[in-house]
Structure 1
Amino acid sequence: MARIRGGVTIDAPVEEVFDLVADERNEPAYNPRIARAEQLGDGPVGPGSRFLATPRGIGRAGR
């Protein structure tokens, strides 16, 4: 089995980066495989938050 490793250096505070990626609504901006993402329910993003992501191409939305 092949293994691939990689890394990215981000010039931003860790809290800012965490908040960006924890809110899946932002994923289409940095993941070209995701067409759309929306939060299910109201309120701030936090433990228990749920999202619906729609991939590009074949496939179906995943929760």
Structure 2
Amino acid sequence: MRPITGEILIEAPRVAVFDFVANECNEPLYNPNMLRADQLTPGPVGVGTRFTAGMKGPTSTTVAIE
């Protein structure tokens, strides 16, 4: 898996930013290459939470928070 890196200044508390980014369902809001993201496991986002994501093009991916 290729790492994804980037940087942006966000005027919000770190905890709020982390919680937003950790929830993969939010990624289509800021990643133009992601069409959709759905949580596969029940409950709040945390270690072991799994998501599936639909990307532009012929691929989709499953993401797990570790």
TM-score normalized by the length of structure 1: 0.84
Residue matched to 2:30: 30
Residue matched to 1:60: 59
In terms of Rg, which structure is larger?
A: 1
Output the amino acid matched with 1:62: T
Aligned-partner Cα distance in 1 for 2:51–2:6: 27
Moved over 3 A (4+): none
Unaligned segments of structure 2, at least 5 residues: none
**Secondary structure at 2:16 match in 1:** helix
> What is the identity percentage for the equivalent residue pairs of Structure 1 and Structure 2?
48
Output the amino acid matched with 1:44: P
CA RMSD after TM alignment: 1.5
Unaligned segments of structure 1, at least 5 residues: none
Q: Which has the higher strand share?
A: 2
After superposition, where does 1:45-56 map in structure 2 within 5 Å? Answer: 45-56=45-56
Aligned-partner Cα distance in 2 for 1:6–1:42: 29
1:35 is displaced (CA, Å) by 0.2
